[in-house]
């Protein structure tokens, strides 16, 4: 396995799968911090068992997905073990000594409960789970996301759980059996480790509700998607809190209809004054935060005059020719500063170079509208939208970086034009004079230089 890729694993809770040369799953694990757990396997002198050593000798690849907490990672781990039956996971032969989750599907309005007894009663059982404390915490999380009833018998009055929105209230017919059954189906997907399919289904329902102008339902579905995807570890329970940036990334994925979370995003901008000293910039954000070692700047070479579209094409072409040649990591999303014209300019170069699968969006300055591929009308976010703020943050950083480079080039040219040609003033003397006097104006005042405007 490539150790450089291991370094890119996030310091967040989740589940991971060790795979062999044929792609088969050798081992499934969970962690409060994926980065720390996976890295621990490769430290010298790590106290690992003979069984795990044998597994690592055969491992050639690793895949992972981030969960909302270590508690959810426990659910995912169990589902993945059941699905793939990896040879290096210890078999839990004595199921009776470990807890299970029981979904009472035979009831009119099913419940989800923790149990140590498996019975032939028609219920669905999930598990076993090795960590009771984490399982109880996971059960608490699921009650908020999938607010099924918890009462043994349905009462005639709503209880506290209904009032705090942890139950939809079948007791007072606040929800019908069909809608309740949909939630049960979603819970089944979650407990089976099929969160991606679950979120995709919720996303489709949300868009359908929005098209029908049922904004209240659309908002509820959106909140559930975010709850399923938010990366937040409770204080004092280990792991690093992903916090708000990752929440915004997940929301961005759903609202733009992306197939996966855009963990790595690149943003591009062009800066020039009347076509002079034109430059381009690229900034990179990873998990919603700047990755400044991955910033790049471009001096426009092949475009004369003012043509932002051609300049954008040149920057994209130069960047992705290098990505292709050096096999650099591709972003999950590209943002270009500008509307439909800049977007199409970027898309045309990416298509030529074979990077047409990378999602690209444009953000127009005037109204902050978002333009997408194959969509005539822009996406309009609320001014308070956290997703819009994330896009703006990237665009503004790309703009700042481009402006800084543009000013640097103009300053160099101005300095050269005023001091070049003066007898006895070379590169070292120019630098020394600027250090001493601080500016061209002070140098001119001190030495009474006669400088013509074009100089």
Signed CA dihedral, 218, 222, 228, 232: sign only: negative
Residues 6 or more apart whose CB falls under 8 angstroms from that of 73 comprise 13, 14, 15, 30, 31, 32, 67
In the chain, ranges of CATH 3.40.1440.10 domains:
3-84
138 and 75 in contact (C-beta within 8 Å)?
yes
Tokens of 160: 């506290």
Cα 373 from Cα 312, distance rounded (Å): 16
* Partners of 276 in beta bridges: 273
User: Helices 440-447 and 427-437, interaxial angle, to 10°?
Assistant: 90
pLDDT for res 447: 62
Cα 401 from Cα 280, distance rounded (Å): 9
Q: How are strands ordered across the β-sheet holding 112-115?
A: 112-115, 100-103, 124-126
Specify the pairing of strand 276-286 against strand 360-363. Answer: unpaired
What is the Cα Rg of the chain in Å? 29
Residue positions counted in the chain:
455
Region of 333 on the Ramachandran plot (φ > 0 left; ψ -120 to 50 alpha; else beta): beta
Tokens of 199: 């979120």
Residues 6 or more apart whose CB falls under 8 angstroms from that of 188 comprise 103, 124
166 and 144 in contact (C-beta within 8 Å)?
yes
Cα 340 from Cα 372, distance rounded (Å): 8
Matching residue, tokens 């995807």 = 229
pLDDT tens track of the chain, all 455 residues? 666 667 778 778 888 999 998 889 999 999 988 888 988 888 776 678 888 889 988 988 888 877 777 888 898 898 888 888 898 887 665 555 788 999 999 999 999 999 988 888 999 998 888 888 889 888 888 888 888 988 888 888 888 877 777 788 888 888 889 989 999 999 998 888 887 788 778 878 887 887 888 877 777 787 777 667 654 333 333 333 354 566 678 778 877 778 778 889 999 999 876 656 789 999 999 888 899 999 999 998 888 878 889 999 999 999 999 999 999 989 999 999 999 999 999 999 999 999 999 999 999 987 889 999 878 788 887 777 778 889 999 999 999 998 888 777 766 665 555 666 566 666 677 667 767 776 666 666 666 554 444 44
CATH class entry, domain 264-407:
alpha beta
Cα 100 from Cα 135, distance rounded (Å): 9
104 and 111 in contact (C-beta within 8 Å)?
yes
User: Helices 243-255 and 195-211, interaxial angle, to 10°?
Assistant: 60
CB burial class (10 A; 0-12, 13-18, 19+) of residue 265? Answer: buried
How close are the terminal C-alpha atoms of the chain, in Å?
Answer: 58
- What HEC string does the chain produce? CCHHHHHCCCCCCEEEEEECCCCCEEEEEEECCHHHHHHHCCCCCCCCCHHHHHHHHHCCEEEEEECCCHHHHHHHHHHHHHHHCCCCCCCCCCHHHCCEEEECCCCCCCCEEEECCCCCCCCEEECCCCCHHHHHHHHHHHHHHCCCCCCCCCCCCCCHHHHCCCCCCHHHCCCCHHHHHHHHHHHHHHHCCCHHHHHHHHHHHHHHHHHCCCHHHHHHHHHHHHHHHCCCCCCCCCCCCCHHHHHHHHHHHHHCCCCCCCCEEEEEEEEEECCEEEEEEEEEEECCEECHHHCEEEECCCCCCCCHHHHHHHHHHHHHHHHHHHCCCCCCEEEEECCHHHHHHHHHHHHHHCCCCCCEEEECCCCCCEEECCCCCCECCCCCCHHHHHHHHHHHHHHHHHHHHHHHHHHHHHHHHHHCCCCCCCHHHHHHHHHHHCCHHHHHHHHCCCCCCCC
Cα 280 from Cα 188, distance rounded (Å): 49
CATH of domain 3-84: 3.40.1440.10
Cα 34 from Cα 48, distance rounded (Å): 17
pLDDT for res 399: 92
pLDDT for res 14: 86
pLDDT for res 213: 81
Global pTM reads: 0.53
Matching residue, tokens 């007894």 = 117
In the chain, ranges of CATH 3.30.420.340 domains:
264-407
């Amino acid at each position: 396995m490539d150790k450089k890729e291991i370094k890119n694993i996030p310091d967040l809770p989740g589940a991971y799968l060790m795979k062999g040369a044929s792609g088969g799953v050798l081992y499934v694990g969970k962690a409060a911090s994926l980065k720390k757990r996976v890295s621990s396997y490769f430290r010298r002198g790590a106290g690992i068992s003979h069984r795990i050593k044998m597994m690592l000798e055969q491992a050639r690849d690793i895949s992972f997905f981030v969960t909302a907490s270590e508690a959810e990672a426990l659910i995912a781990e169990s589902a993945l073990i059941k699905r793939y039956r990896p040879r290096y996971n210890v078999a839990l032969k004595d199921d009776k000594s470990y807890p299970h989750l029981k979904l009472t599907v035979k009831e009119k309005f099913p419940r989800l409960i923790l149990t140590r007894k498996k019975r032939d009663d028609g219920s669905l059982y999930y598990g076993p789970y090795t960590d009771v404390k984490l399982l109880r915490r996971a059960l608490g999380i699921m009650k908020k996301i999938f607010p099924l009833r918890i009462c043994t018998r349905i009462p005639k009055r709503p209880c506290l759980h209904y009032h705090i929105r942890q139950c939809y209230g079948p007791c007072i017919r606040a929800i019908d059996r069909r809608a309740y059954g949909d939630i049960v189906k979603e819970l089944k997907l979650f407990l089976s480790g099929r969160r991606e399919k679950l979120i995709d289904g919720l996303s489709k329902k949300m868009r359908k509700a929005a098209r029908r102008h049922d904004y209240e339902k659309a908002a509820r579905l959106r909140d559930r998607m975010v709850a399923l995807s938010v990366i937040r570890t409770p204080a004092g329970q280990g792991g690093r809190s992903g916090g708000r940036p990752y929440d915004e990334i997940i929301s961005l994925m759903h609202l733009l209809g992306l197939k996966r979370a855009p963990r790595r995003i690149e943003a591009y901008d062009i800066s020039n004054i009347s076509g002079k000293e034109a430059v381009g910039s690229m900034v990179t954000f990873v998990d919603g935060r700047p990755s400044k070692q991955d910033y790049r700047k471009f001096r426009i070479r092949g475009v004369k005059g003012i043509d932002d579209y051609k300049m954008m094409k040149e920057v994209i072409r130069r960047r992705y020719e290098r990505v292709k040649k050096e096999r650099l990591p591709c972003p999950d999303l590209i943002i270009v500063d500008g509307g439909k014209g800049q977007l199409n300019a970027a898309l045309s170069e990416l298509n030529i170079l074979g990077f047409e699968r990378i999602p690209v969006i444009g953000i127009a300055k005037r109204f902050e509208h978002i333009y997408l591929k194959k969509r005539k009308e822009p996406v309009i976010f609320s001014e308070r939208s956290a997703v819009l703020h994330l896009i703006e943050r990237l665009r503004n950083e790309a703009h700042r970086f481009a402006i800084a480079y543009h000013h640097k080039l103009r300053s160099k040219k101005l300095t050269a034009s005023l001091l070049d040609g003066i007898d006895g003033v070379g590169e070292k003397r120019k630098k020394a004079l600027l250090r001493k006097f601080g500016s061209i104006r002070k140098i001119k005042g001190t030495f009474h230089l006669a400088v013509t405007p074009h100089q």
